[in-house]
Chain A
Amino acid sequence: MGEKKRLPLLAALILLALLFLAPMALTIAGSLMSSDEIAAHYGPVLADDGYMTEPVELRFLPDRPTAEQYENLVREPAYWQKYTNSVLYTVPTTLLQTAVAALAAYGFASRPGRGRRLLLLGYALLALMPYQVTLVPNYFVSKWLGLYDTRWAILLPGVFSTFGVFLLTKYMARVPKETMEAARLDGAGEWRVFLHICLPQCKSALWAAAMLTFFDNWSMMEQPLILLRGEELYPLSVWLSRLNGEQPGLAFAAAVVYLLPCLLIFALGQRNLGEGLK
């Protein structure tokens, strides 16, 4: 392609990329504004009280940057309690789900057969079901097992979500069977084949599956609303929506701190995404 045609294309793509980044930039800019400035720019929308006809003004730079919101956020114990809840749900779910899924994927991929293909199809279907389909079963199981209104009600079903199994099996099926067979002939047990041959070749896929699980669980919404009664156990994802309405002055800083773990994981794992989901 000629140099002449390349420039407009590049300009268009850069513009599009900026649009994609804009919401995050808006949030970060908002988090550095004082409560008054937020009220002035975004008040009509966030406070939502009666007849305000002033339109909002998008600001990608605060007029006078201040850490006021962050200081107020530090003094908001409820926020940190819910933050801890979010971590306590998301981190174990992600780690355990990836582990369970890796084991299961090995079970599926190492010795394919008719029965296991059918089972995997069942897993794929379960993975594709919207949460609302399993809402009633989830609720009853948590009641029967005495998990209702405890952290376990959220954690356990998350650990056994089948989405990761489906992803990892697809990837593991491509680990050369000969390598695995050769190791077995050398006397390696299944466990060692799994740990030393299969897993190292699936690192990208493991990362990708873990990342998707983390992002999904960090934003969980239906499960806490259905399976928890008390607000103390709520994760940030549910609780924060209320804060946005009640204390708009805190909304942006709260969103930025909430976003940080995702940003960290994205930065660490991004290059595995494309490779790991092929």
Chain B
Amino acid sequence: MRRTGSTLVRRARWRSLLFLFPSLLGTLVFFALPCGVVAYYALVSRPVDGAFAGLSNFAALLRNRAFLVGLKNTAILCGGAVGLGLPLSLGLALLLERNLPGKSLLRTAFLSPMLVPTVSVVLVWEVLFHQNGAVNAALETLGTGGIDWFHTGWGRWMVLLLYLWKNIGFHTLLFAAALAAVPRELLDMAALDGAGRVRRFCTVKLPFLAPTALFVVMLTLVSAMKLFREVWLLTGSYPYDYLYLLQHFMNNTFLSMDYPKLSAAALTLAGLMCAVVGLLFWLEDRAGRDLEHG
């Protein structure tokens, strides 16, 4: 009797594994196995008939100015997107929690940029931030003089603004959903204990928001990396230093067919992402435990 039971369970396990099969096959063919190719290229000296080169490709990368500039700019962009986007979207969600008329209309308005395709966004951003664009025209009338958005450090702010405009509404929505799930009784109890708005936020709401915040940080990293599309359309393959991203470096290296260099860069970037994600999961784990022991 027990035997048949366990075979049944095992067979059910296998059958549920069948559901994974299409995805696994595709992932294996298109992503996992080819990563082996990347690892190979990262360790040889030339794309064709290359000799084993140890870690010299990586060492060369760390001396490559273009790589370092790209890495720095991509890191700044990601950091800025998290640092500005997270508090802003959470703040907006808290404001929209209040009893306001037309709340769902407001939410839709904030959400709407997510549907605007990249090329259309870029069209508008050009009209706004061009040397003769609308923003500079406004600055002129204020008497401060125009800003060269594409060739100075201000370019980063232009791109960050684009990121915030496009993503903040979506992240606000996610925070709003999480806020709605905070148990009312806990909030009422805290209020009875005399906790003010700020205290109630810190002690009651924040722990419930931690998983969402983490999810938002991950989405932010994905979207911040995809900002390359907009930056590329705005500035082309060789932008000024402040807007030269790691993705520019990798795209250009690909076009010059220097696969060992590119593979080493891809592995470095993948390693960095893994480290960041690992850190995030570790934080989530800790936040989860805090909630349990609360």
- Same complex for A and B? Answer yes
A interface residues with partner B (beta carbon < 8 Å): 1, 6, 9-10, 13-14, 16-18, 20-21, 23-24, 26-27, 42, 44-46, 52-58, 100-101, 103-104, 106-108, 110-111, 116, 121, 123-141, 156-157, 159-160, 162-163, 165, 184, 189-190, 194, 215-216, 218-219, 221-222, 226, 236-237, 240-241, 244, 251-252, 255, 258-259, 262-263, 265-266, 270, 273-275, 277-278
B262 and A45 contact, CB distance less than 8 A: no
B16 and A259 contact, CB distance less than 8 A: no
Q: Note all chain B residues with C-beta closer than 8 A to A103.
A: 19-20, 22-23
Given contacts A27-B120, A258-B120, is CB(A132)–CB(B251) below 8 Å? yes
- Residue B27 lies at the interface, judged by CB distance under 8 Å to chain A: yes
Select which of A9, A52, A56, A160 is within 8 A of B23 by beta carbon. A160
Q: Note all chain B residues with C-beta closer than 8 A to A23.
A: 113, 116, 120-121, 124, 165
> Interface readout for B257-270 with A: 1 if CB under 8 Å, 0 if not?
00100110010011
> Interface readout for B1-33 with A: 1 if CB under 8 Å, 0 if not?
000000000001101111111111011011101
Given contacts A45-B132, A46-B126, A184-B12, is CB(A135)–CB(B254) below 8 Å? yes
- 21 sample A-B contacts, Cβ–Cβ < 8 Å, listed by A number: A9-B100, A13-B100, A16-B110, A18-B109, A20-B110, A24-B112, A26-B127, A27-B123, A46-B127, A104-B24, A107-B16, A126-B31, A131-B225, A136-B37, A137-B31, A140-B34, A190-B15, A215-B115, A219-B117, A221-B233, A278-B177
Given contacts A129-B273, A259-B120, A273-B173, is CB(A226)–CB(B254) below 8 Å? yes
Given contacts A55-B136, A135-B250, is CB(A6)–CB(B100) below 8 Å? yes
Nearest residue, chain A, Cβ from B22: A100
* A interface SS class: helix
Closest approach, in angstroms, between the C-beta of A75 and any C-beta of chain B? 21
Complex-state Cα separation, A273 to B132, whole angstroms: 38
Complex-state Cα separation, A56 to B127, whole angstroms: 7
B134 and A55 contact, CB distance less than 8 A: yes
- Residue B203 lies at the interface, judged by CB distance under 8 Å to chain A: no
Closest approach, in angstroms, between the C-beta of B58 and any C-beta of chain A? 15
Nearest residue, chain A, Cβ from B126: A45
- Residue B67 lies at the interface, judged by CB distance under 8 Å to chain A: no
A244 and B119 contact, CB distance less than 8 A: yes
Complex-state Cα separation, A222 to B273, whole angstroms: 20
Q: Note all chain B residues with C-beta closer than 8 A to A157.
A: 30-31
> Interface readout for B107-148 with A: 1 if CB under 8 Å, 0 if not?
011111111111111111011001011101100100000000
Complex-state Cα separation, A265 to B114, whole angstroms: 12
A241 and B124 contact, CB distance less than 8 A: no
> Interface readout for B88-117 with A: 1 if CB under 8 Å, 0 if not?
000000011011111001101111111111
Complex-state Cα separation, A184 to B118, whole angstroms: 46
- Residue B246 lies at the interface, judged by CB distance under 8 Å to chain A: yes
B273 and A125 contact, CB distance less than 8 A: yes
Closest approach, in angstroms, between the C-beta of A164 and any C-beta of chain B? 9
Given contacts A104-B20, A129-B273, A278-B178, is CB(A42)–CB(B127) below 8 Å? yes
- Residue B82 lies at the interface, judged by CB distance under 8 Å to chain A: no
Q: Note all chain A residues with C-beta closer than 8 A to B178.
A: 278
A156 and B177 contact, CB distance less than 8 A: no
B34 and A138 contact, CB distance less than 8 A: yes
A274 and B176 contact, CB distance less than 8 A: yes
Select which of B27, B41, B112, B269 is within 8 A of A133 by beta carbon. B269
B130 and A132 contact, CB distance less than 8 A: no
Q: Note all chain B residues with C-beta closer than 8 A to A159.
A: 26
Closest approach, in angstroms, between the C-beta of A49 and any C-beta of chain B? 12
Complex-state Cα separation, A18 to B113, whole angstroms: 12
Nearest residue, chain B, Cβ from A142: B30
- Residue B229 lies at the interface, judged by CB distance under 8 Å to chain A: yes
A259 and B247 contact, CB distance less than 8 A: no
Given contacts A133-B266, A190-B12, is CB(A13)–CB(B30) below 8 Å? no
Complex-state Cα separation, A10 to B98, whole angstroms: 10
A241 and B270 contact, CB distance less than 8 A: no
Q: Note all chain B residues with C-beta closer than 8 A to A6.
A: 98, 100
Closest 3 CB pairs of A and B: A137-B34, A160-B26, A107-B20
Q: Note all chain A residues with C-beta closer than 8 A to B270.
A: 129, 133
